[in-house]
């Protein structure tokens, strides 16, 4: 029963709410627009919490079904690994910017990332093909608080995942990271942790514009890997060229809903993994 409720909630939020929010209300008067932005942020927070609760219920259902609370992941020892680059890219050896966004080389699908960025954030990520989710953590290695930390992933098919929800990370603190890829077919990826509001971002994702158009201008070191796979994105991030490969809908243009959309993608992957495990056990 809980799985059915989670499914209906997931489909309702992903299939109904996001298309209706694709616009952003740019023609509204400034005061009305501000009120609408606040309302959308509050709605997004509430929906985010609902999806997190659905994921918790799914874990309980897995246990009741005789499975582990979490779907199994890849064996770390068998993965390739890129570690200890300390904010430098594989090509050209250029340092990443203070915000952590300067481009790096694309990693193979199953490569484990363990990298220290110039802003002091250490990012560990690896892909779990069973749930179609990148899982890992961000650690603040500095003696100061890193504000508004969030993580994005760019796939070689032109899709951008995330960002994750913004959170302040204290000195030495580690926070979990999850980014869902449900419905995407990709071979390589590149990721970075951002902190604060970067120069030239127009106020960051919360401005509703994200980094529109920058990828098409050679962001991430000329899109190594992305260009090789013919998957460069262009224009507004909320409407990537060609949309999400294999996805049923595009990531919402309204930045307030992107962390929520990511949680929905994670939930969808976890539900699919649960279905596969149940079928395998019944054979």
Summarize pLDDT for 202-256 with one digit per residue, the tens.
334 443 333 333 333 334 433 444 434 333 333 333 333 334 444 445 688 888 8
Which pLDDT value is given to residue 162? 95
Neighbours of 84 (CB within 10 A): 10
Which of 81-90, 114-123, 247-256, 267-276 is predicted with the least confidence, judged by mean pLDDT?
81-90
Query: Mean of the pLDDT values across residues 8-13?
Result: 48
Vertex 127: Cα angle to 150 and 63 (nearest 5):
95
What pLDDT does 75 receive? Answer: 59
Structure-token pair, residue 243: 């949309």
Helix (H, G, I), strand (E, B) or coil at 257: helix
Q: From CA 215, how far away is CA 237, in angstroms rounded?
A: 9
The overall average pLDDT reported for the chain is: 73
- What is the bridge-based pairing of β-strands 146-155 and 133-140? unpaired
pLDDT level of residue 281 (50, 70, 90 thresholds): confident
Closest to 209 measured CA to CA, from 240, 238, 244, 252: 238
For the ranges 90-104, 182-196, 259-273, which has the lowest average pLDDT? 90-104
Pairing of strands 81-83, 112-116: parallel
pLDDT of residue 60: 95
CA distance 44 to 37: 10
Q: What is the pLDDT of residue 23?
A: 47
Q: In whole angstroms, what is the distance from residue 276 CA to residue 72 CA?
A: 12
Answer whether 0.85 is exceeded by the pTM: no
- pLDDT score, position 84: 54
Helices (H) and strands (E) in the chain, counts: 5, 10
Burial of 37-67, coded b for 16+ CB within 10 Å and e otherwise, reads beebeeebeebbebbeebbebbbebbeeeeb
Q: What is the dihedral of CA 259, 39, 9, 72, to 10 degrees?
A: 20
Helix pair 258-282, 2-12: axis angle to 10 deg? 140
Q: How far is it, in rounded angstroms, from Cα 154 to Cα 182?
A: 14
pLDDT for 29 equals 65
* For range 271-279, the mean pLDDT: 93
pLDDT band for position 155 (50/70/90)?
A: very high
Q: Are strands 167-169 and 160-161 parallel, antiparallel or unpaired?
A: unpaired
Mean pLDDT confidence for 155-183: 96
Q: How confident is the model at residue 282 (pLDDT cuts 50, 70, 90)?
A: confident
The pLDDT value given to residue 73: 80
What is the rounded distance in angstroms from the CA atom of residue 159 to the CA atom of residue 244?
A: 6
């Amino acid at each position: 029963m809980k799985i059915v409720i989670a499914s209906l909630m997931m489909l309702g939020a992903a299939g109904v709410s996001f298309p209706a929010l694709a616009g952003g209300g740019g023609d509204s008067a400034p005061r009305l627009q501000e009120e609408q932005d606040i309302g959308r942020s509050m709605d997004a927070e509430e929906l985010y919490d609902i999806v997190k609760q659905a994921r918790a219920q799914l874990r309980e259902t897995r246990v009741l079904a005789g499975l582990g609370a979490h779907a199994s992941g890849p064996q770390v020892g068998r993965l390739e690994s890129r570690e200890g680059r300390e904010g430098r890219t594989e090509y050209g050896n250029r340092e990443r910017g203070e915000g952590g966004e300067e481009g790096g080389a694309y990693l193979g699908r199953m490569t484990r990332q363990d990298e220290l960025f110039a802003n002091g954030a250490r990012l560990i990520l690896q892909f779990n093909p069973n749930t179609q989710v990148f899982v890992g953590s961000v650690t603040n290695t500095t003696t100061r608080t890193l504000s508004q930390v969030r993580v994005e992933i760019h796939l070689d098919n032109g899709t951008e995942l995330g960002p994750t929800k913004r959170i302040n990370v204290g000195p030495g603190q580690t926070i979990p990271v999850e980014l869902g890829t449900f419905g995407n077919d990709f071979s390589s990826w590149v990721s970075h942790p951002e902190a604060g509001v970067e120069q030239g971002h127009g106020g960051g994702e919360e401005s509703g514009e994200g980094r529109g158009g920058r990828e098409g201008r050679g962001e991430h070191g000329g899109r190594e890997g992305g260009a090789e796979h013919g998957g460069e994105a262009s224009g507004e991030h909320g409407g990537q060229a060609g949309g999400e490969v294999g996805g049923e809908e595009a990531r919402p243009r309204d930045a307030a809903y992107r962390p929520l959309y990511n949680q929905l993608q994670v939930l969808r992957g976890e539900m699919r993994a649960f279905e596969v495990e149940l079928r395998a056990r019944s054979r």
